[in-house]
């Protein structure tokens, strides 16, 4: 692995957290990093809901089978998109833009010594409805994912999943 890319290789999905809070300034840094992501035609259709209330985090976890770590996280950042604000009003651009913001958020969390895990909600209708209900998300806003963030209680080695058999050059 190229050492200059160590920040990327060090980012791992962290699902176990220590007790403790994250300073509001640090949460704002995560959001600034997320919003530094590229966006088709700079439309920035992303919207964020920061959840730190433990009861709310537990309620979110109730409807996300793979999101049980939210019960122990310091925060859940729900990444949403406003489709009519996306380039050409296209769902695909909204998803791409929000995904770029999520990756920036994940990298920033890792760089700041935090643990984070990306929990997809879109396109699973039951999870979308659950998040809409718990967080009172309007119909015009699409909850794309939830990112659990906390003080890591596990340390994973840097790695890549590079597989040369999945790379084609010039043509398929």
Give me the residue spans of the domains in the chain: 24-154
* Angstrom distance (rounded) from CA 140 to CA 151: 33
Task: Convert the pLDDT of each residue in 80-101 to its tens digit.
Answer: 999 999 999 999 999 999 999 9
Find out if CATH 3.40.109.10 is the number for domain 24-154: yes
Average pLDDT over residues 25-36: 98
**Mean pLDDT score, 63-78:** 97
Q: Which long-range contacts (CB under 8 A, 24 or more apart) does 31-36 make?
A: 31/77, 31/105, 33/104, 33/105, 33/107, 33/108, 34/77, 34/79, 34/101, 34/102, 34/104, 34/105, 34/108, 35/101, 36/104
| 3-state secondary structure (DSSP) of residue 10 | helix
């Amino acid at each position: 692995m190229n050492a200059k890319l160590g920040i990327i290789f060090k980012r791992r999905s962290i699902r176990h957290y220590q007790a403790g809070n994250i300073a509001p300034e640090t949460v704002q840094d995560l959001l600034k990093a997320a919003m530094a992501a590229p966006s088709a035609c700079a439309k920035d259709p992303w919207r964020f809901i920061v959840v730190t209330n433990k009861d709310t985090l537990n309620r979110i976890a109730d409807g996300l089978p793979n999101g049980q770590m939210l019960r122990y996280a310091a925060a859940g950042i729900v990444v949403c998109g406003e489709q009519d604000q996306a380039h050409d009003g296209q769902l695909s651009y909204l998803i791409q833009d929000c995904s770029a913001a999520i990756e920036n958020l994940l990298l920033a969390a890792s760089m700041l010594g935090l643990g984070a895990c990306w929990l997809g909600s879109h396109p699973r209708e039951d999870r979308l409805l659950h998040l809409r209900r718990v967080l009172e998300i309007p119909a015009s806003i699409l909850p794309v994912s939830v990112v659990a963030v906390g003080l890591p209680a596990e340390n994973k080695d840097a790695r890549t999943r590079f597989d040369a058999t999945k790379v084609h050059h010039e043509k398929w």
